[in-house]
Structure 1
Amino acid sequence: MDKILRGRFEGYSLNSFKRDVVSGTIVGIVAIPLAMSFAIASGVKPEYGIYTAIFAGILISLFGGSKYQIGGPTGAFVPILLGVVLAYGYEDLLLAGLMAGAMLILMGVFRLGLLIQYIPRPVTIGFTAGIAVIIFSGQIANFLGLQGLKQHERSIDNMREIASHLHTINIYSITVAAICLAAILITPKVLPKVPGPLVGIIVSSVVAALFFNGQVATIGTTYGEIPNRLPQFRIPEITVDRMISLLGPAFVIAMLGAIESLLSAVVADGMTNSKHNSNRELIGQGIANMVTPLFGGIPATGAIARTATNIKFGAASPLSGVIHGVFVLITLLIFAPLASHIPLASLAPVLMVVAWNMSERKHFKHVLKLKSGDSLVLIITFLLTVLTSLTIAVIVGLMLAVLLFVKRMSDMLIVSKVLPDHKNNGKVQPHIVNETRDCPQISIYTIEGPLFFGAAQTFEERILKSIHYQPKILILRMGKVPFIDATGEAYLRNIVKNFKAQGGRLLVTGVQPGLKILLDKSGLTKEIGEEHFFEHTGEAINYALGSVNRNHCIGCKHFAFRECEELSATKIS
């Protein structure tokens, strides 16, 4: 424990504690309505969201890798958790959350935290915007007060359900929701230090109780009264069959939890000029997600908005996150019965505003304006998230991003035939090569770019097609080849074999040390010949000129090299 907390409380003082109390309390106030809203949107009872804010909030702050991270239920999880609840049920959601927690711990232990940064930005923007659309559309029914709806796993089915029940619109629900929305939007302008969602819920709930009593659905009438006590410790039923069936959902929860928490930690770093520990953050998230289901809580992750609020109000250490969890706990024990009177129409605008804020609309528009492959990845990921599922969207988005990356990298490979430019200090240039100036016995090629599976075949084809006249010596300038994979190595070996089979000799220049080690290990160095590796192109040209058939040089008018004029006029006795 000392090792985990070391460095996170250095220089801690009474003033730091006061700052943590203030920020933790304010974040706790913000977290309560969000926790209930996210739980309801995920298809479970509102108190389960509160339990999550308590246990996950405290544990993520204690064991995570960021000093300022606030953990709890988040909007990003809503479509995933709702899908699990609809397909498997609440009990299996607890087991899936526990399994996801174990996966997160393993990811942290095996130091996979840095791998999250390799997920392309268009994919994260696409699925985040898609999730925002799902959350927003999922609250239309509560905003309008529609009745008799059935929840579906796919967003498009839920929209059809809403359209078929528009005749059940409740004007009182719309009024309550509009009051709450107005309060949420106006409060930051009038009282910038007061949480808008809290004001909106309180004002609209009071209006509903005074003027529309019994006319709008509330948490109590829909889900029953929220108990003002802690949940009992209970281990979910664990069987091999259940675990196997939940592997997919658990993995998606773990991956999204890792992405969301690390993105939140990066935001916190930027706001505080600090540095989080990615692997420790994953372990902390894993511990929280393994413990929280034992108390009825749903999966949790780092919450960007609450973390930013925590920093904004002066948090000094992880203690602010602990205080936030304790505040939610005290509120549960004292004020839970009052929460039962909150109208569902009051919670709808809260989630709609959350969805609007998390929609990444500015970044979405920016990537679209690029009109590039990234734009295509963004659109497809977004549409698949909304129309199918997040799992399919992320998998397809990543595959498409990889294919586009491979295409871009293969396009970067340049294979050009070159000769020395005697007017430019002998520097080799491709424009020097033409029909009247090209050595029949020596071919020189510059290779620029990575030799990997996406470009290796192009490399081989260009070399073999260009040497159809069978020169005696082939010089490959590989100083600008950063790396070569197994496929690239196989194609290079094929060139070596073909060239040697026709009696030619291959020389290599400028190979970088790391690449040379790989060629040594693969046996290519031995096959080419250690003596055929040169540091500079000039050395290889001198070697080649000393190895050509002088008889073929007599009368040649190509004059590719400085020595050619003399060799052309020299008679061999």
Structure 2
Amino acid sequence: MFELKANTAQSVKNDVLSGLTVALALVPEAVAFAFVAGVDPLVGLYAAFMVGLITAVFGGRPGMISGATGALAVVMVSLVADHGVEYLFATVVLMGILQITAGALKLGKFIRMVPHPVMLGFVNGLAIVIFLAQLSQFGLAGEAGWLEGTTLQGSVIDVAWLETSNLLRMLGLVALTMAVIYFLPKFTRAIPSSLAAILVVTGLVIGFNLDTRVVGDVAAIAGGLPQFHIPSVPFTFETLQIILPYSIILAAIGLIESLLTLRLVDEITQSHGNGNRECLGQGLANTVTGMFGGMGGCAMIGQSMINVNSGGRGRLSGIVAALSLLAFILVGSAWIEKIPLAALVGVMFMVVLGTFEWSSLRIMNKIPRSDAFVLVLVSGVTVVSDLAVAVVVGVIVSALVFAWNNAKQIRVQRSEHDTSQYYTVTGPLFFGSTTAFLTQFSVSEDKNDVIIDFLGSKVCDHSGLEAIDTLAERYLKAGKTVHLLHLSQDCKNLLKKAGNLVEVNVIEDPRYLVPVID
């Protein structure tokens, strides 16, 4: 069940080294997202450890990394500010229970309803978000940014930039990190290039005593083991009213980001994860995390890309990343705090370059305009709002475009057969095509005996049934007899108003069987 055993010694080495690399990148991210949520850095670090470990063991996608994320942190801000951190822990527990319920109901399969342009928009938008999140590392904390007095004041790009010498030093170290990551694989893959880059830049800064910010300047990460802790909140209906809306939003965002990241890792590794199992794993992780003083989390696309690109494919990589992070908290904090922020920023910039779907820019003029619009829309909404809203908006717009295009495919061909008027219907009949369907019949001009053949048509919803019923009533009021051929059983059962005027060819009626796929 746990799939801890790797196939070869090489895969074990890859998983261990990539897991260590991911753990180093998890530290500043967890601390930063804790600050975003307004909680102590250890709350973010504990979440990264527990969510990462539990999802690595029980989740549905080996090689995918989970932890505290910015998409969830921005939702938690107002809850923590208004009610305190204990309500956050209670919210995370309820969030996990909702995610377990989603997994038990096998709702993970619905991620396949997300169209490819939405997936591209999600990836591009998230790459931009990851890039923008790194800009604060080039600024002075607590000082007004260069956009003070404008509508963008306080945004992620409103940074009080470092003075020139420090800024240039920071940029140089970032560039060196990126260069090592890019060129090292051309010579050897014995060690993950991201880990090598962090070690090289850290050694350079320590060896030459360069004046640049390190992890320890952001926050102290030393701490003990997370302690079991039932959230100190009143167990009342009023408390449920407070935490339930937040729990629903967090559960939705967490599952959407996790399942979309799962799909992305599937494509990169040419393998197949289990969406429903991932829902269960995420739910279990958040339920436990809330009981141990963590801020909750979900899959992290940046760290997942670092892991996969560093050779991490098995569950062992996620386990090593989580346990290494715990080791950093317990005994290795003094070393980790010496890592230059520039090295970690460089790693994340390479993640941005690898995550962004550059091919989407080349195909803009080759795909339908509607798909291009959805791609750009989802990217933009991901940046200015959040992932869940962006995906929902993208799916809705894609569904409306699909409905509009399919509504134009309904065709009704009119002909005469002896004493009867014969109509042949082709194309889907649903809410979007009912108006076009009804306008193609000439009730007043038709003969008294009318035959309408639905063999080439599929009645998709109740609106289609109502359109057929409306048409039958029109012929009834005109004193004419209408025969409806090749309707499915559900159509026959619902067409009550037509009464005995409806004649159905039972022998040739198709049965529309829709397979249920878990």
Alignment TM class, shorter chain as reference: 0.7 to 0.9
1:35-184 matched pairs, under 5 angstroms: 35-44=26-35, 47-66=42-61, 68-73=62-67, 77-85=69-77, 88-89=80-81, 91=85, 93-143=88-138, 148=143, 157=152, 162=157, 165-166=160-161, 168-169=163-164, 170-171=166-167, 172-184=169-181
Distance 2:250 2:294 in 1: 14
| Aligned counterpart for 1:415 among listed residues 412, 417, 423 | 412
1:357 is matched with 354
**Cα contact 1:27–1:306 (8 A) shared by 2:** no
| Percent pairwise identity | 24
**Cα contact 1:201–1:347 (8 A) shared by 2:** yes
1:512-523 matched pairs, under 5 angstroms: 516-523=488-495
Distance 1:250 1:232 in 2: 22
Secondary structure in structure 1 of the residue aligned to 2:412? strand
1:221 aligns with 2:217: yes
**Cα contact 1:56–1:71 (8 A) shared by 2:** no
Q: 1:374 to 1:104 in 2, by over 3 A?
A: same
Q: How many residues align?
A: 496
1:429-444 matched pairs, under 5 angstroms: 442-444=420-422
1:510 aligns with 2:486: yes
Which range moves more in the overlay, 248-257 or 441-450? 248-257
Q: 1:308 to 1:140 in 2, by over 3 A?
A: closer
Distance 1:158 1:368 in 2: 35
Distance 1:58 1:397 in 2: 32
- The structure with higher relative contact order (CA 8 Å, sep 6+) is 2
1:460 is matched with 438
Secondary structure in structure 1 of the residue aligned to 2:224? coil
Secondary structure in structure 2 of the residue aligned to 1:369? coil
**Cα contact 1:445–1:475 (8 A) shared by 2:** yes
1:258 aligns with 2:234: no
State the shift of 1:46 in Å.
5.7
**Cα contact 1:72–1:303 (8 A) shared by 2:** yes
Distance 2:123 2:308 in 1: 23
1:99-498 matched pairs, under 5 angstroms: 99-143=94-138, 148=143, 157=152, 162=157, 165-166=160-161, 168-169=163-164, 170-171=166-167, 172-212=169-209, 215-223=211-219, 225-238=220-233, 244-266=241-263, 275-303=272-300, 318-319=315-316, 321-363=318-360, 365-366=362-363, 369-418=366-415, 442-463=420-441, 466-498=442-474
Q: 1:305 to 1:85 in 2, by over 3 A?
A: closer
1:562 is matched with none
State the shift of 1:136 in Å.
0.5
State the shift of 1:306 in Å.
5.9
1:29 is matched with 20
**Cα contact 1:69–1:318 (8 A) shared by 2:** yes
**Cα contact 2:451–2:483 (8 A) shared by 1:** yes
2:505 is matched with 533
Q: 1:157 to 1:298 in 2, by over 3 A?
A: farther
Distance 2:251 2:106 in 1: 15
Q: 1:311 to 1:168 in 2, by over 3 A?
A: closer
Distance 2:305 2:133 in 1: 25
Secondary structure in structure 1 of the residue aligned to 2:458? coil
Structure 2: which 5+ residue stretches go unaligned?
A: 510-518
State the shift of 1:79 in Å.
4.1
Distance 1:50 1:151 in 2: 31
Distance 2:383 2:276 in 1: 31
State the shift of 1:47 in Å.
4.9
TM-score by length of 2: 0.82
Distance 2:309 2:159 in 1: 44
Distance 2:48 2:74 in 1: 18
Distance 1:252 1:328 in 2: 28
Distance 1:107 1:139 in 2: 33
Secondary structure in structure 1 of the residue aligned to 2:421? strand
Bigger Rg, which one: 1
Distance 1:305 1:17 in 2: 26
State the shift of 1:282 in Å.
1.0
**Cα contact 1:62–1:318 (8 A) shared by 2:** yes
Distance 2:232 2:74 in 1: 20
- RMSD of Structure 2 on Structure 1 (CA): 3.7
**Cα contact 2:469–2:495 (8 A) shared by 1:** no
Distance 2:268 2:157 in 1: 40
Q: 1:397 to 1:178 in 2, by over 3 A?
A: same
| Aligned counterpart for 1:500 among listed residues 476, 481, 486 | 476
